Amino acid sequence: MSKNLNIDDKKIADILLKESYISEEDFKKGAEFAKNFHSTIVKYLLSEELINKDLLGQAIAESFKVSYSDLNTNIPAKEQVLKIPEALAKKYRAVLFTEEKNSVVIATDNLEQKNLKIGLKKIFKTKKIILSYSLPEDIDEIFIFYRKTLDTRFASIVKNQNKIAPEIITEIFQDALLYRASDIHFEPQEKEVVIRFRVDGLLYEAGRLPKEHYENILNKIKVMANLRMDDHFSAQDGAIRYTAEKGVAVDMRISILPALDGEKIVVRLLAEYVKDFSLSDVGLLEKNQEMLLKAARKPFGMILVSGPTGSGKTTTLYSLVKYINKPEVNITTIEDPVEYKVVGVNQIQVNQRTELTFSKGLRSIVRQDPDIILVGEIRDKETAEIAVNAALTGHLLFSTFHANDAATSVPRLLDLGAEPFLLASTLELLISQRLARRICENCRYSYKETISSLQKKIPNAKKYFNSKSLTLYKGKGCKSCNDTGYHGRTAIFEFIQITKELEELILTSPSSQQIIALAKKQGFNSLFDDGLEKVKKGITTLDELLRVVPLDQ
Ligand SMILES: [Zn+2]
């Protein structure tokens, strides 16, 4: 919670203590923290998870002697919110929380405004106005209701005929960040340009622009990204550091490709919400997390994560690197591109122009003798060879590999020329993964499904479920998930731990089927098994699992 709460920190902490929400000791520690770090007790309590947002809201409300309106769980309907006109609502930070016959409850995060009630009287006439407290970030979330569609805003920008391109770009970038998009696509068609956002892995249309303004927008983006404006026929890549609302800097990667109806722009947003790095957020089941950490504690060996492009492989490895990152461990990475900076880790960027390739970079890294090496991707014979040798000579090496499942990595690496006996002695863990959308926690509900109806989707359903009916989950769709029922993503994994038996099998240059057959004997869980576990827990839906993972044969 970074927003200024406009509250008396000491007073709130006193209330939390008085109500026994925190202990005397927590209070003292918080006061000390506030003094030493020029911070507040409340910030300390939140960061240490000694209180949650709700408790804080209640305590603040109590300090003002009003009730607390929890806008997070009781979201008012859009029509209701819009009864207070935008200008007034934003001026007074007021949301219509509930409306009765004779009274209304208004939620605000600023109770000390003299004219608030007078302003509201004009709308609610004779009804009694009762003020209540809500947290600033919750009020801001509700204000999303006032946002007009991108198309409407485009039209009004165009009508004003002033700085059209920069204003349209700002609107698009801001919406993309608001809706947690990971990519923005500008797709020129014959008469229009379609703007699409990728959210939680899927593309949605966000708006359409008249084509006549596209050239200026394209040029403006090229200038921002240091690209050549006069070049319309080659692929160009660049970067923008964009300063969003509230001064937050967001790094963007720009890729421009000539297409039939004009140059297509794809903007990748490297925003905070995209880089969820905590190992506990990746979506590992306990057993797999233990297996991963055990392998990562070994002094040498190789951990390989495979999966198609966009399956979250890099995020998994980053989370692992972040987890084991300590001052006494030397971690070096070579990546293309370096997507996220990790403090305390030496990160090297592949550069084709200076011929700093994966293999050359890796060769020099090994000479610097790091403990752990992360290679962005093993793509060629040379890199594969150096990687295996590095892992053999006392380094722990993590890398991603473009293969469909964990077992296929072995024959593919052998095809790249890796020696079976070297591979057998260095491989520790083979992981494969996919990304599935998470059910929105705000609107998740459970429903009953019978085995017979399930069999229409999963013919061998009886193999996985041993009761006649079962409880599954879905998202209904709400404001917080933009009516999709999904919010964020989780990874679905399969893990193959290289045991003695598997080592022996690798010596014989096995097929992926042979590897899976042996892994199954040792209790291997397929992508589908792992995903199903997450479906049963209500983390994702059955439909989503079937979308991203093939049914087991
Ligand atoms: Zn929702």
What mean pLDDT do residues 464-475 have?
86
DSSP 336-395: SS--S--TT-EEEE-BTTTTB-HHHHHHHHHHT--SEEEES---SHHHHHHHHHHHHTT-
Residues 244, 283 within the same domain: no
Both tokens assigned to 160: 């004003």
Mind spelling out the 3-state secondary structure of 30-57? HHHHHHHCCCCHHHHHHHCCCCCHHHHH
Residues 154, 229 within the same domain: yes
Compute the CA torsion angle 41, 42, 43, 46 (nearest 10 deg): 120
The pLDDT assigned to 310 comes to 84
Is 86 a domain residue? Answer: no
> Ligand 1 centroid vs 478 CA: distance in angstroms?
4
On the question of pLDDT at 257 being above 70, the answer is: yes
Q: What percent of the chain has pLDDT over 90?
A: 50
> Ligand 1 centroid vs 28 CA: distance in angstroms?
38
What mean pLDDT do residues 21-32 have?
90
| CATH classification of the domain holding 336 | 3.40.50.300
> Ligand 1 centroid vs 97 CA: distance in angstroms?
19
The pLDDT assigned to 549 comes to 92
Residues 382, 517 within the same domain: yes
On the question of pLDDT at 553 being above 70, the answer is: no
Last residue of a domain, one of 270, 290, 317: 270
Residues 288, 413 within the same domain: yes
The single-letter code of the amino acid at 388 is V
Is 381 a domain residue? Answer: yes
Residues 248, 322 within the same domain: no
Residues 259, 285 within the same domain: no
Both tokens assigned to 536: 């049963």
On the question of pLDDT at 7 being above 90, the answer is: no
> Ligand 1 centroid vs 199 CA: distance in angstroms?
14
> Ligand 1 centroid vs 295 CA: distance in angstroms?
37
The pLDDT assigned to 276 comes to 54
* Confidence band for 451, pLDDT divided at 50, 70 and 90: confident
Task: Give all strands of the β-sheet with 202-210 in edge-to-edge order.
Answer: 202-210, 192-199, 181-188, 262-270, 249-259, 236-243
User: Total structural domains in the chain?
Assistant: 2
> Ligand 1 centroid vs 484 CA: distance in angstroms?
7
Residues 396, 507 within the same domain: yes
Is 20 a domain residue? Answer: no
Is 91 a domain residue? Answer: no
Last residue of a domain, one of 253, 270, 287: 270
Q: Distance between CA 185 and CA 190 in Å, rounded?
A: 16
Q: Radius of gyration of the chain from Cα atoms?
A: 27
pTM passes above 0.75? no
Dump pLDDT digits (tens) for 162-205.
889 999 999 999 999 888 898 999 999 999 999 999 888 888 89
Neighbours of 448 (CB within 10 A): 9
Is 12 a domain residue? Answer: no
Dump pLDDT digits (tens) for 57-106.
998 898 889 999 999 888 898 889 999 999 999 999 999 999 999 999 99
> Ligand 1 centroid vs 384 CA: distance in angstroms?
44
Is 159 a domain residue? Answer: yes
* Confidence band for 264, pLDDT divided at 50, 70 and 90: very high
Nearest CA-CA partner of 376 in 401, 412, 354: 401
What mean pLDDT do residues 315-341 have?
84
Residues 183, 284 within the same domain: no
Q: Is the peptide bond before 370 cis (omega within 30 degrees of 0)?
A: no
Residue with tokens 């752990």: 372
Neighbours of 273 (CB within 10 A): 11
Q: Which helix (H) or strand (E) holds 202?
A: strand 202-210
Residue 447 dihedral angles phi and psi, to the nearest 5° = -145, 160
> Ligand 1 centroid vs 452 CA: distance in angstroms?
29
Nearest CA-CA partner of 389 in 355, 429, 418, 346: 418
Residues 263, 285 within the same domain: no
> Ligand 1 centroid vs 474 CA: distance in angstroms?
10
The protein residues having their C-beta less than 5 angstroms from ligand 1 (an ion) are 440, 442-443, 475, 478, 481
> Residue 357 belongs to what domain range?
279-436+490-526
Pairing mode of beta strands 128-133, 103-108:
parallel
On the question of pLDDT at 513 being above 50, the answer is: yes
Dump pLDDT digits (tens) for 404-418.
899 999 999 999 999
The pLDDT assigned to 234 comes to 85
Is 536 a domain residue? Answer: no
Residues 299, 266 within the same domain: no
On the question of pLDDT at 343 being above 80, the answer is: no
| CATH classification of the domain holding 178 | 3.30.450.90
Last residue of a domain, one of 204, 238, 270: 270
Q: How far is CA 300 from CA 262, 296, 358, 387, 392, in A?
A: 50, 9, 20, 12, 7
On the question of pLDDT at 372 being above 50, the answer is: yes
What mean pLDDT do residues 275-300 have?
86
Residues 250, 291 within the same domain: no
CB burial of residue 363 (10 Å; 0-12, 13-18, 19+): middle
Please say whether the beta carbons of 282 and 316 come within 8 A.
yes
The pLDDT assigned to 274 comes to 58
Neighbours of 269 (CB within 10 A): 24
Q: What percent of the chain has pLDDT over 70?
A: 97
Q: Using the 8-state DSSP alphabet, how is residue 64 labeled?
A: T
> Ligand 1 centroid vs 266 CA: distance in angstroms?
27
* Confidence band for 3, pLDDT divided at 50, 70 and 90: very low
Residues 388, 345 within the same domain: yes
Please say whether the beta carbons of 183 and 269 come within 8 A.
yes
Is 126 a domain residue? Answer: no
Q: How far is CA 240 from CA 174, 257, 275, 369, in A?
A: 14, 17, 17, 34
The pLDDT assigned to 421 comes to 95
Task: Mark 62-85 as b/e (b = at least 16 C-beta within 10 Å).
Answer: bbbebbbbbbbeebbeeebbeebe
What is the residue-averaged pLDDT of the chain? 89
Of 19 and 176, more confident: 176
The pLDDT assigned to 277 comes to 65
> Ligand 1 centroid vs 13 CA: distance in angstroms?
32
